[in-house]
Amino acid sequence: MGFVKKEYEFLKNIEIDSHNLGCYVGGKWKANGPTISTVNPATNQPIAEVVEGSLEDYEEGMKACVEASKMWKQLPAPKRGDIVRQIGDALRANLDHLGRLVSLEMGKILAEGIGEVQEIIDMCDFAVGLSRQLNGSIIPSERPNHAMLEVWNPLGIVGVITAFNFPSAVLGWNACIALVCGSCVVWKGAPTTPLVTIGLTKVIAGVLEKNNLPGSIFTSLCGGADIGQAIAEDTRIQLVSFTGSSKVGQIVQQTVNKRFGKCLLELSGNNAIIVMDDADIKLAARAVLFAAVGTAGQRCTTCRRLLLHESIYDNVLKQLLEAYKQVKIGDPLEKGILLGPLHTKTSKENFAKGIEVIKSQGGKILTGGSVIESEGNFVEPTIVEISPDADVVKEELFAPVLYVMKFKTLEEAIEINNSVPQGLSSSIFTQKPEAIFKWIGPAGSDCGIVNVNIPTNGAEIGGAFGGEKATGGGREAGSDSWKQYMRRATCTINYGNELPLAQGINFG
């Protein structure tokens, strides 16, 4: 059976066909769950069929993964790093096709789709270097002829549950580091982006097979909430990384905590950009456009609240309204398009409902605010003038809707920034050193990402990514995030003939 449309034929270059098995378990492709059709959000027409995994498939995969873990964790870390290097090279060879797939199935524009796959490649490079730097510590002992060491060992198995908006990059943040740290990976991709899950897995599986390594080092499943629930409940999985809504993340956290497992959460964002009276207005306006409209507002780091100093309020708003008029909306694979569709029909419906709620709470639509009549899930990029006290401002509407509000002082702006339940990303535009250092200090932003003169989105992999409060507190990608994927052991070695006790205790 061939693809419905000729423009989908490129998928065969990454071993995806019109009908696909959705599980890579025990080093084999199989699936015994329901068959679904994945759709193009720009047309809501089917792309291909995928057979999802069953709980029996999951169990088969986990048993094989447990066995593979015994070998993988004992392979020297630099050797594991070399495997991840090869994965990065294989991704480079398939960058354009995989990026095009991300755009096709998720709906983000092609530049962002390719950029997302590039992010995994960058993570592979980062992880290769990290594989030779999983350093412990030597700690001075208070006891004579004693040495204290801090040793880091692999956790075992890491479960990764990813969301539709970054169907590949988030897997990269977790898997690249988990693999070099000596843990096997069990991945459940988003139910609405199964082809991305399959396409990436094909690349990773090919590298493992080429090196005569067990395919079960990396287990991948397409499926629904039952697979996600199984991962959360499974005591064989030492760490569960979940990306999604705060509501579902809280359930995952409670389930994993109940069995004393570790949980890494990347949840909702409600991010603000503050523009001070001394800011570079043109720079700020460009940054806001990308932060609010990029990925059709479906990033956890999307700018949802714009806080403008009263003295420059009208000027910034005028530039933004002009810029919004220039935004080209359409098929994300077409050149020049800046705004693709929302990911699902439900997302489009939620946008329409959200606009009604905004109006009912005093929001004034300055531009946009309507669903675009078409076969796809297109909506207008929207700017809303609203009070920071409106209840709807405290929630995350996953769409290109930007709330604009005035402030008089930096202290007031910081208070508004910190007034929402979420705490992921934030940014200020200013030239004043005193404002910058207050913003990044203890009386400033309460978010995990605190930027100056750049947007809230587009984070680099070198820094730890994640947020506070209802964003979950997780940290992925760079800095010392690798420590979450390993277990710490404090080791004391007595190389003498006496048994002195700590704190000078004399026992017997």
Which structure tokens are listed for 251? Answer: 């359930």
Question: In whole angstroms, how far apart are CA 481 and each of 73, 423, 477?
Answer: 19, 18, 6
Would you tell me how many other CB atoms lie within 10 Å of the CB of residue 466? 26
Q: For residues 242 and 249, is the Cβ–Cβ distance under 8 A?
A: yes
Question: In whole angstroms, how far apart are CA 415 and each of 128, 305, 411, 446, 449?
Answer: 41, 13, 6, 10, 16
Helical ranges in 107-162 per DSSP H: 110-130
38 sits in which H/E element: strand 35-40
Taking the CA atoms of 471, 472, 475 and 476 in sequence, report the sign of the dihedral they define: negative
Q: Torsion angle, CA of 69/72/73/74, rounded to 10 degrees?
A: 130
**HSE toward the beta carbon, residue 91, CA cutoff 13 A:** 27
Q: For residues 3 and 48, is the Cβ–Cβ distance under 8 A?
A: yes
Q: For residues 60 and 219, is the Cβ–Cβ distance under 8 A?
A: no
Would you tell me how many other CB atoms lie within 10 Å of the CB of residue 106? 29
Q: Which residue of the set 266, 380, 396, 476 is catalytic?
A: 266
393-398 long-range CB contacts below 8 Å, 24 or more apart? 393/270, 393/305, 393/420, 394/270, 394/419, 394/420, 394/421, 395/270, 396/268, 396/269, 396/270, 396/304, 396/422, 397/297, 397/304, 397/350, 397/351, 397/354, 398/165, 398/297, 398/298, 398/347, 398/350
Residue 155 DSSP SS3: coil
Known catalytic membership, residue 52: no
Which structure tokens are listed for 260? Answer: 């004393």
Provide the terminal-to-terminal Cα distance of the chain, rounded to the nearest Å: 81
d(CA 486, CA 476): 13
Q: For residues 296 and 340, is the Cβ–Cβ distance under 8 A?
A: yes
How are beta strands 271-275 and 262-266 bridged, if at all?
A: unpaired
d(CA 230, CA 185): 15
Would you tell me how many other CB atoms lie within 10 Å of the CB of residue 473? 17
Active site amino acids: 266
